Amino acid sequence: MQPGDRVRVERADVTNEGVLMPSSTSDHLVVKLDGGYNVGIDREAADVEVLESGVHEVDEGGANEPGEVSEISFDEELPTISLISTGGTIASTVDYRTGAVTARFDAEDVLRAVPDLAGRANYRGRVVANILSENMDPSIWTDLAEAVREEVEAGADGVVVMHGTDTMQYSASALSFMLDTPVPIVFTGSQRSADRPSSDNVMNAVCAVEAAKADCAEVLVCMHATESDDRCALHRGTRVRKNHTSRRDAFETVGGKPLGEVDYAAASDADPSDGEPASGVSFRREHAERGEAELSIAPDLAADVELVKFTPGMDPAAWDYLDGTDGVVIEGTGLGHVHTDLIPRIEELVESGTTVAMTSQCLAGRVCDRVYDTGRDLLDAGVVEAGDTLPGTAKVKLMWALANVENPADAMGRDLAGELTEESQPWR
Amino acid sequence: MSDYDYEELGLVAGLEIHQQLDTATKLFCDSPTMQREPEAADRELTRYLHPTKSELGELDQAAVEESRVDREFTYLAYDTTCLVEEDDEPPRRVDEEALSVALQIADLMDLTVVDQAHVMRKLVIDGSNTSGFQRTMLVGQHGEISTSEGPVSVVDLMLEEESAQRVEETDEGVVYSLDRLGVPLVEIGTGPDIRSPAQAKEAAERIGMLLRSTGSVKRGLGTIRQDVNVSIAEGARVEVKGVQDLQGIEDIVRGEVRRQAELVEIRDELQARDAAVGDVQEVTEVFADTDSGVIRGALDSGGKVTAVPLSGFDGLVGREIQEDRRLGTELSDHAKRHGAGGIFHTDELPAYGVTAAEVADLREAVGAGEGDAVAIVAADPETADLAIEAAADRAESAVVGVPEETRGANEDGTTRYLRPLPGAARMYPETDVPPVEPDSSDVETPELLDEKAERYVADFGLDEGLAEQVAFGHRFPLFEEAVEAGVDPTFAAATLESTTTELRRDGVPVENLTDEQFLGLFALVEDGDLAKEGVNEVLTVLAENPGMSAEAAVEEAGLAGVSEEAVREAVVEVVERNAEQVEAEGMGAFSGLMGEAMGALRGKADGEVVSAVLREEIGKRS
């Protein structure tokens, strides 16, 4: 008896026929009845007869291996957009017989999953990883940056990175530091999985492709701007944060309005033959223009960097493990503070050669350690202020700075990729 | 209508009953299950649904016909709905209260409860579910209910989420209200064991009684929906949706049997005549100078007229198959599905401004001779083509017999074509909700409503009619609480049923009355603080003042109780005391005396009454 077999199950006065499913517990057989319902039946109490073996193939895998590149039919009039997948569910499909959700990825698979993308561009498809985004690893950021460089070199006019939403902001930050790009690199994903008709994947993908065609050369995150399917926001990769666990509009630009947006109605009605480079895309503020920068890459990272959060009541011993690390980013309170008792600990770290940067758990606003005694003591201990850089972005930046710039401590106080504003002007 | 021998015709019917549960929270979130008015919405969101190609590839005909690309769905959200209804948060676990009610229902219908219930997603892409699917789970199987004509099997019991209520259709799409989405709903399907219209009604009645016996189902319009599957031996399975009430079920089955029997007779006649459906063609020329309003209107706005010759159909298109419905009506229903206003056919022409000469030309144009009929559609070119094809297809199936389809119940007991029968539902597991293992061991079997009625007669001495009214009404828990508290059973029953019915007829909003108000009122009567004669008046005040206590209402009723005689007496006294002033100033004295009169009545009387009486009395004296 195997999943996929057609079975007859007798249990007390009820007889059921259907297809045996991979069961979730050892106590129950799960049978898909002809009406479509699954039902769990006590294994011990049931009498099972296999009517036919292997009626349905129960496919539990089938995703592409990393490294494959695929391309589909080419139209010279259209720009070429590279679709890079790191996993996530934007292009997953569901098998109705088994209910299994399979993440598939080559360009054709994406077009099959999101037919609305067809005709907007020539697509190149590529898989860099096939992981859940919480399992994202800095080494994959490096692979991703390399892949983007290769795609741009191969002629992509824009890159769309399909990424799980949990750690999208970290990957977007990493690419912002690693790459000088002449074309847009647009991250997108979905908050509601692609196996449901209401998934946000279609609108996010359509808007991301339009953004990747736009006259812009930034690393962007393109996700729902509101709970409605009306427009996507374009966030700068180093200023964006996932601020809600489940809503479609979870992503926000901290401290201001997003850099731009894509109007879905305009994007979906786009007629690629009208000569418009991108449909529905508008920008609110100054941004790097297409073609300005030479393509270059600095993909090295120092792995040994920790982001630590100070909270009241913390045992200073909790920071003992930081000994010997290359870099530490502290998420302090308010203007950038920790308990006075922790200052000697920080002093030790700095003296032993660790770069210690301060950010704030307020998220919005600039750290300033010159206002209160604690702050001044922190500065005396050798802490560098990361301005208004977001804590997560600061961690990625410090990893990159330690591997790529001469004076990382100094770099933490300067803007490298739009992560730090020089002046505290309210963003409009 | 002739009475049919249902056994001979081979009538087979089954029921599908949907009942909303009256639980504190929804099936997959903690929002209350209360209904809201669309005006109370405080937020709106718009969405699209995107069934992917692989999904559509597997979708059945009915679902495809229902879904139109690029339809925009607008959802109204309230302070009583949350992110789960908006499909912006994963569902919670299956509501325990709803599951326990479902288990009670399973118990009452002798259903075997599944060992492990799996929540499934049933694809629904008409926008009525924000997610694009309905969550549903199979809870029980293999049950039975009894009727006087024998047992009827209950095949399955499902616990599922109610869809969002359709508010309106706009040019862009549909507006739905989220208040109803997620309310627990049980679906009960019987086997095809019903053999007569009366048995269909009885079975539905029995199921309804069992459901209400739980005391946990919603009452009122739209909270229970009944679908009936009907076929006769030579007919076909037809699903009739949305039968409003129990009497309706009997009428629908009767009417559907008649329709199928008539269609079978028409089929036999058509086959005997070697009938056939000819090719569709355009006949705009025939009507170039027509005075028929409908056709003229269509042509003047750029439309055309299409026709299909129906060879051998003469006289049969106009044959009645249900009250006021003909084979022609069926053709017309199909044409309407494709946007036409309907069809005309030669069995009913000349009429509607179409002249005998035009009919003759039409027949000639399509080559229809004696014994043939012609159907026409006048509409914009695209619609005219689609609609006449649809009508032709329906005529074609008339030669074969009764088509399988989904029909909608009309209020007069007839039915109309809705869509093809749905195929097997597209279902896949709801991975966000873990399976549940229902535990029926501590389910209490509720007392059935008919048993309850008998007990009220035996134990409380209620007369049978009143006992039944209370037991089957929604206030029986309150009745039992009142009797427990020492209230006279007959008085409590009469107040809760007869009195409220009487007041409702007088336009008093009795639905506002709360249990607390009733219990307060009963206590006052029991304690002798209120005469039974005052009950109607106090209930009226309570109903009109939600939140008021019974004590306050008695006082209020007392105030309002100053009779016109008493007012007149007081007013006359005031007028007489000021006779000189009245004589000198006439109506000029009114405002001064009004204050005095109100003072004399110490504010107990309605100012308008006092004013009217005062004017009258001053008038008499000046």
Flag whether residue B142 sits within 8 Å of chain A, measured between CB atoms.
yes
Residue B206 backbone dihedrals phi, psi, to 5 degrees:
-65, -45
Q: Do residues B464 and B453 make contact, with C-beta atoms less than 8 angstroms apart?
A: yes
Q: Three-state DSSP class for A266?
A: helix
Flag whether residue B85 sits within 8 Å of chain A, measured between CB atoms.
no
The CATH number covering residue A40 comes to: 2.30.30.520
The answer on A277 and A238 residing in a single domain is: yes
Q: Do residues A82 and A156 make contact, with C-beta atoms less than 8 angstroms apart?
A: yes
Q: A5 vs chain B: nearest CA distance in angstroms?
A: 18
- pLDDT for res A61: 43
Out of B45, B53, B122, the one facing A228 most closely (by C-beta) is B45
Beta bridge partners of B414: none
pLDDT tens, position by position, B403-448? 999 999 998 889 999 888 877 667 888 988 999 999 988 888 889 9
Report the distance separating Cα B39 and Cα A55, nearest Å: 53
Q: Name chain A contacts of B123, Cβ cutoff 8 Å.
A: 197
Residues of A involved in catalysis:
89, 165-166, 242
Give residues with Cβ within 8 angstroms of A267, minimum separation 6.
A206, A207, A210, A279, A280, A281
pLDDT tens, position by position, A367-386? 999 888 889 999 999 999 99
Q: Name chain B contacts of A247, Cβ cutoff 8 Å.
A: 83, 88-89
Instruction: Choose among B323, A414, B441: nearest CA to A422.
Output: A414
Q: Name chain B contacts of A194, Cβ cutoff 8 Å.
A: 52
The CATH number covering residue A219 comes to: 3.40.50.1170
Q: Does the residue A234 lie in any domain?
A: yes
Flag whether residue B130 sits within 8 Å of chain A, measured between CB atoms.
yes
Give residues with Cβ within 8 angstroms of A194, minimum separation 6.
A89, A90, A91, A92, A93, A113, A201, B52
Burial code of B16-41, b = ≥16 C-beta within 10 A, e = fewer?
A: bbbbbbbbebbbbbebebebbeeeeb
- What is the mean pLDDT of the segment spanning B562-583? 83
Contact check, Cβ <8 Å, B46/A228: yes
Q: Three-state DSSP class for B183?
A: coil
Q: How confident is the model at residue B547 (pLDDT cuts 50, 70, 90)?
A: confident
Q: Is the pLDDT of residue A58 over 60?
A: no
The answer on A164 and A232 residing in a single domain is: yes
Q: Does the residue A64 lie in any domain?
A: no
Q: Which residue has the higher pLDDT, B456 or A59?
A: B456
Contact check, Cβ <8 Å, A196/B89: no
Q: Do residues B310 and B372 make contact, with C-beta atoms less than 8 angstroms apart?
A: yes
Task: Quote the percentage of chain B above a pLDDT of 70.
Answer: 94
Mean pLDDT for chain A overall = 89
Q: How confident is the model at residue B58 (pLDDT cuts 50, 70, 90)?
A: very low
Q: Do residues B112 and B138 make contact, with C-beta atoms less than 8 angstroms apart?
A: no
pLDDT tens, position by position, B244-293? 787 889 999 999 999 999 999 999 999 999 999 999 999 999 999 999 99
Q: Does the residue A187 lie in any domain?
A: yes
Q: Rounded to whole angstroms, what are the CA distances from A27 to A13, A15, A21, B71?
A: 20, 18, 14, 45
The answer on A27 and A143 residing in a single domain is: no
Residue range of the domain that includes A47: 6-52
Give residues with Cβ within 8 angstroms of B151, minimum separation 6.
B144, B145, B193
- pLDDT for res A66: 54
Contact check, Cβ <8 Å, A229/B428: no
The CATH number covering residue A394 comes to: 3.40.50.40
Contact check, Cβ <8 Å, A96/B58: yes
The answer on A293 and A188 residing in a single domain is: yes
Q: Does the residue A400 lie in any domain?
A: yes
Query: Cα B53 vs. chain centroid, distance in angstroms?
Result: 35
Mean pLDDT for chain B overall = 90
| Last-in-domain residue among A297, A330, A365 | A297
Flag whether residue A137 sits within 8 Å of chain B, measured between CB atoms.
no
Q: Which residue has the tokens 């081979």?
A: B10
Flag whether residue B422 sits within 8 Å of chain A, measured between CB atoms.
no
The answer on A237 and A90 residing in a single domain is: yes
Q: Does the residue A398 lie in any domain?
A: yes
pLDDT tens, position by position, B71-122? 899 999 999 999 999 999 999 999 999 999 999 999 999 999 999 999 999 9
Contact check, Cβ <8 Å, B117/A39: yes
First to last CA, chain B: 73
Q: What is the interface pTM, i.e. ipTM, of the complex?
A: 0.90
Contact check, Cβ <8 Å, B52/A113: yes
Handedness of CA A336, A340, A345, A347 (dihedral sign): positive
Q: Is the pLDDT of residue B467 over 70?
A: yes
The answer on A326 and A291 residing in a single domain is: no
The answer on A191 and A83 residing in a single domain is: yes
The answer on A241 and A131 residing in a single domain is: yes
The answer on A150 and A192 residing in a single domain is: yes
Out of A38, A196, A226, the one facing B131 most closely (by C-beta) is A196
Give residues with Cβ within 8 angstroms of A230, minimum separation 6.
A263, A264, A265, B46
Q: Does the residue A367 lie in any domain?
A: yes
The answer on A291 and A314 residing in a single domain is: no
Q: Does the residue A422 lie in any domain?
A: no
| Last-in-domain residue among A297, A317, A343 | A297
The total of structural domains in chain A comes to 3
Out of B130, B137, B426, the one facing A198 most closely (by C-beta) is B130
The answer on A320 and A279 residing in a single domain is: no
Report the distance separating Cα A245 and Cα A150, nearest Å: 34
- pLDDT for res A133: 87
Q: Are strands A384-385 and B427-429 parallel, antiparallel or unpaired?
A: unpaired
The answer on A281 and A158 residing in a single domain is: yes
Instruction: Choose among B484, B452, B30, B494: nearest CA to B212.
Output: B452
Flag whether residue A176 sits within 8 Å of chain B, measured between CB atoms.
no
Q: Does the residue A426 lie in any domain?
A: no
